[in-house]
Structure 1
Amino acid sequence: MSYKKLGKYIKLIDNRNRDLSDAPLLGVSVQKRFITSVANTIGSDMSKYKLIEKNNFVYIPDTSRRGDKIGIALLKDFDEAMISQAYTSFKIIDENELSPDYLMMWFSRPEFDRYARYHSIGSVREVFDWKDMCEVELPIPSIEEQRKIVAQYQSIANKIKVNEQICEKLEATAQALYKHWFVDFEFPSPLTPNGGIVPYKSSGGKMVWNEELGKEIPEGWEVGKLETVSNLKYGKMLDSDKFLTAGYPVFSGYGVRGYYSEYMYEEPQILVLCRGVSGTGEVKLSPNFSYITNLSIVVELQENVMSKFFTYYYLKNDDLRTLDSGSAQSMITTGDLYFRNILKPKYTIQVQFDNQISKLHNCKEILKRQNQKLAQLQSLLLSRLAVGEEEKKKIAV
């Protein structure tokens, strides 16, 4: 299949917001998605902003401060939107010749990011301008073939999205169960004479006032400092020589940041993000067999004193961002955490809660692993865009 220059198929757009439309103001991320703009527009002349429509493309010509990626996105969720005048917008001239979704797949390839960065020129700042975009070459099969490829890709994307939505619902269920048991104190309790299980507080379970928390808690429960139930450890610095394309996940608190030749923990660990530009105080669970970086504090619990999922959700709901003691950089230390109060329900109640939550957690992990496989399949489809039909047949065989 021969490659064709993109300039033949696209047209520059420069529609200004002269009528002061109230269309949503969007930005573009290096994840190649539109995001709600956080720009301060107070006092700005909104007539200078650009308007775009569904199936229009937007990209950021300045590639200097975006790592190895270029910010580009295809508008799908709005009929009309507003963007910064610094962005470049364009549309496809004839969508019966080139599908916008097919072109967006091409832009989603890491090879395109490398191409755009290589062809960005400038001394003060590097720019991938409109002329450069028009010089992009890509294979353009028949529109029927394009739509077939897009349908395959989108079916995978839809499955990933459905899995993510299910994970969100599972997490919401876990949060609701935590609140029901440990905020409303309606955990199951054998209070009836015949041994029936009933909600604790609403069935007359005895409550006592706790000075540390400033509220009533169930009788027999305690409050202590985090230092009395855990050992807090900083993660470790990384050795770049041990980074791999596959191996054990490196978890920083922001998420998986790559793979490593060794791991620190076999089982998921409770992490508190302790430094960074944002998110300090967030509480996460690491994956199995992971290496934890020094951006996180690991909360290692004492056995048979505190359960993992109860402690995780307690800390997650305990606004640890208020512990930020950094000046130049956002930061939380182990000393900040050690003296934090923590509720200590009876251990048997914690275990019951963990047994319930572990089922939800296991379902989430299965869905996450499915999504990892689906994402790999997406990458394979993107890589095959540049393969000719004869080569595709060889691969299929």
Structure 2
Amino acid sequence: MSKLKFDLLKNLTTKIGSGATPTGGQASYKEFGTALIRSQNVLDMSFSKNGLAFIDDEQANKLKNVEVFENDILLNITGDSIARVCKVPSEILPARVNQHVSILRTKKNLDPDFLLYYLIYKKKYLETISRVGGTRNALTKEAVENLEIRIDKNQQKVASVLSALDDKIELNNKINAELEAMAKTLYDYWFVQFDFPDATGKPYKSSGGKMVWNEALKRGIPEGWEVKTLASFINSDKSGDWGKEEKQGNYTVKVECIRGADINGINGKGDIKAPVRYILEKNKHKLLSANDFVVEISGGSPVQSTGRITCITKEVLSRFKNPLICSNFCKAVSLKDEDEVMYFLSAWNKAYDNNVLFGFEGKTSGIKNLLFENFTNAYMIVKPTPKVIKDFNNKLSLFEKKRQQNLKQNHELAQLRDWLLPMLMNGQVTVGEGEEKLNYMVI
């Protein structure tokens, strides 16, 4: 085997540099204009538009020297998110970066996608060298410039093997986003506009279906429907048992424990890191079953996390090796009627999206807490006839099943990518010339 070759990143790039905070700081941000990329937008291998700031032409001209171009690699160089790296998405251009993000612009002899994956491979090293001196993690320009990058004549093919996996993950995410949008549209169409299919298949209200005034909601609702609190749908509380890390005494039941952060894995990313715990035998009745709900009731994120909900479907349960329970930072409940599961979930998410839950938050030691019982006992929704609820549940259950299948596949694809990544980057596995065939090498 030939000896691996390396070169310094500064010799393989035309630009390595970070930006600055616009004059006036956040007060200068606009609703639209030139995008200003901050560290919160740069995730590992993905770009987040959440909190993306915008500046006007005058501010953008002052930051012209840190203009972002297509195929640029973005690297976080300060703070807790240090060494997170992604490729800039073309749809957010034109853009600039602030002082916490560095632009890496490659020469023709370095494929930007290969650099992206190489930096992911070197993340632990980058985190280590960022802790030298000072009180705040920081990657200096000199440290980035002197980073050794392996030279691979098949670097584009190496990157394509990994990006093919990430492209499929991204496609699944887009499909899931469409499924979620369709579910929300259907809920609004049926239960806000009241144009669910009538007995003849026509939209109820638009076709002249009878409406009856409801004093609690201050609006007309379809004849035969009721108005109930969210609490009236709930059968039992299965909340919280954090248990112990190791089996001891009466803590003998091995479980995996869903925390607030894991809800996002179930809902949107596919990567769940619920820790293994041991709970009391007497608390086995708190184990979660198919169609139970878990709600995050404690959190302090800038993005509202308190009130996030997930449904523990059969597909979700299949992703765990052990029985499942929720931590004491969450609330778990089961419903009286399984035909109401998707309706309850949609109604909750509607309230969450409309920021209704902000009115039911208390504080403990500065941490926001959802007052679950206060909210569910106060929040009123329409309760359709059993047939309408069942029809809605059947339609959305298909959406949710497909969504969870995609998330499970994403988790498996990410595991495969993470397994291949170090072997491709250190030359243990190569991509043969003429075809994208992996060759294992003994080193």
Asked if 1:279 is matched to 2:305, the reply is: yes
For 1:298 and 1:285, how far apart are their aligned partners in 2?
A: 10
Match for 1:266 among 282, 285, 289?
289
Change in CA separation of 1:291 and 1:86 when aligned onto 2, cut-off 3 Å: same
Aligned-pair CA distance for 1:292: 2.4
Residues 1:58 and 1:228: Cα distance change in structure 2 (over 3 Å): closer
Deviations 1:162-204 (CA, angstroms, capped at 9, x unpaired): 22222222222222222222222222332xxxxx444333333
CA deviation digits over 1:57-78, x for unaligned, max 9? 3323224x23xx5233333416
TM-score between both structures, scaled by the size of structure 1: 0.81
Q: Residue in 1 aligned with 2:110?
A: 98
* Amino acid in the other structure paired with 1:162: L
Partner SS, residue 382 of structure 2: strand
Aligned to 1:10: 13
Partner of 1:252: 260
The match for 1:83 is 97
Identity across matched positions, percent: 23
CA distance in 2, matches of 1:45, 1:207: 55
2:83 corresponding residue in structure 1: 70
Query: What is residue 52 of structure 1 aligned with on the other side?
Result: 68
Task: Give the aligned partner of residue 346 of structure 2.
Answer: 313
**Count of residue pairs brought into register by the alignment:** 373
Give me the whole-angstrom Cα distance separating, in 1, the residues matched to 2:183 and 2:429: 50
Secondary structure of the residue that 2:409 maps to in structure 1? helix
Shift of 1:363: 1.7
User: Hey, what does 2:26 align to over in structure 1?
Assistant: none
Unmatched 5+ stretches in structure 2: 24-32, 248-254, 266-271, 278-285, 431-437
| Residue in 2 that maps onto 1:193 | none
Question: What is residue 237 of structure 1 aligned with on the other side?
Answer: 242
Q: Secondary structure at the match of 2:407?
A: helix
Q: Which amino acid aligns with 2:329?
A: L
Instruction: Decide whether aligned partners of structure 1 residues 24 and 366 sit closer, same or farther in structure 2, where only a CA change above 3 A counts.
Output: same
> Secondary structure at 1:58's aligned position in 2?
strand
2-structure distance, mates of 1:75, 1:218: 49
Matched-pair contact (CA < 8 Å) for 1:54–1:80: no
CA distance in structure 2 between the partners assigned to 1:131 and 1:280 by the alignment: 41
Shift of 1:99: 1.1
Q: Give how far 1:233 is off.
A: 5.1
Say if 1:164 and 1:40 are closer, same or farther in 2 by CA, change over 3 A: closer
Task: Using the TM superposition, give the Cα deviation of residue 311 of structure 1 relative to its aligned residue in structure 2, in angstroms.
Answer: 0.9
**What amino acid sits opposite 1:303 in the alignment?**
D
Cα pair distance change 1:393/1:203, threshold 3 Å = closer
Q: Does 1:164 align with 2:173?
A: yes
Answer whether contact 1:229 1:301 (CA < 8 A) is retained: yes
| 1:6 maps to amino acid | L
Q: Please state how far the C-alpha of 1:105 moved relative to its aligned partner.
A: 0.9
How far 1:82 moved relative to its partner?
0.9
Identify the match of residue 372 of structure 2 among 334, 347, 359: 334
Structure 1 residue 380 corresponds to structure 2 residue 419: yes
1:367 aligned partner: 406
The separation in 2 between residues aligned to 1:31 and 1:128, in whole angstroms, is 16
* 8 Å CA contact retained: 1:251, 1:292: yes
Q: Once the 2 structures are TM-superposed, how far is the Cα of residue 159 of structure 1 from its aligned partner?
A: 1.9
Q: Which amino acid aligns with 1:119?
A: I
The one-letter amino acid paired with 1:212 is: A
Taking the TM superposition and a 5 Å limit, the aligned residue runs for 1:336-355 are 336-339=374-377, 340-355=379-394
Q: Distance in 2 between matches of 1:215 and 1:370?
A: 44
Judge conservation of contact 1:186–1:202 (CA < 8 Å) in 2: yes
- Equivalent residue for 1:137, pick from 145, 148, 169: 148
Q: Partner of 1:25 in structure 2?
A: 36
For residues 248-304 of structure 1, what are the alpha-carbon distances to aligned partners after superposition, in whole Å with 9 as ceiling and x for unaligned?
573526423513336931324333332212332333334325432333322321137
Judged with a 3 Å threshold, the aligned counterparts in structure 2 of structure 1 residues 326 and 86 are, in CA distance, closer, same or farther, namely same
Q: Is contact 1:325–1:331 with CA below 8 Å preserved after alignment? A: yes
Q: 2:160 aligns with which of 151, 154, 166?
A: 151
Compare 201-210 and 351-360 and name the one that shifted more.
201-210
